[in-house]
Amino acid sequence: MGATLRLLFEKAGWQAKMTYPFIERRRANRAVQRVADGVPRAPSPPGFVINDREKQVRIGERSMHLSPTEYRLTVLLASDPGRVFSPREIASYLWPGQSDKESDLPQYIRLLRRKIEKDPSEPEWLLNQQGFGYKLDIPG
């Protein structure tokens, strides 16, 4: 903002507020990440390992490469295994401030099941609680 406009705003008693959407998104993502970092994580179930440093998930001997959204979804569900997360909770964690993205969630669940489950049509790990949401279950 030019010095002339700033001076005019100051004389009028206004405060010049410049917004930068990309910075606001970055700040929002950091806030969500801090919330996720503050969530106490339950111990990983046997055979299920999340390596946050390398952003990898391993089940048994299988190591899988997940997209950033799939990885964040896995981290959220693994933060409290057995707890049912509502679609709204998951969407607000994955896409903060974008309420229209909730409809994309079933697609990401399907993609994640294809990578995690032995048989995606008969899931053992990533379960749907009809009418409530999704949970990461520990088989056996």
Q: Are residues 124 and 55 in the same domain?
A: yes
Residue 82 is part of which domain span?
43-136
Q: Are residues 4 and 67 in the same domain?
A: no
Beta carbons within 8 Å of 29's beta carbon, 6+ residues apart = 96
pLDDT in tens, 17-65: 555 555 566 656 555 555 455 454 555 556 778 888 888 888 878 888 8
Q: Are residues 76 and 27 in the same domain?
A: no
Q: Are residues 117 and 72 in the same domain?
A: yes
pLDDT of residue 35: 47
44: left (phi over 0), alpha (psi -120 to 50) or beta: beta
Of the two residues 13 and 71, the one the predictor is more confident about is: 71
Q: Is 0.85 topped by the overall pTM?
A: no
Q: Are residues 27 and 80 in the same domain?
A: no
pLDDT in tens, 113-129: 999 888 989 998 899 99
Please state the domain count of the chain.
2
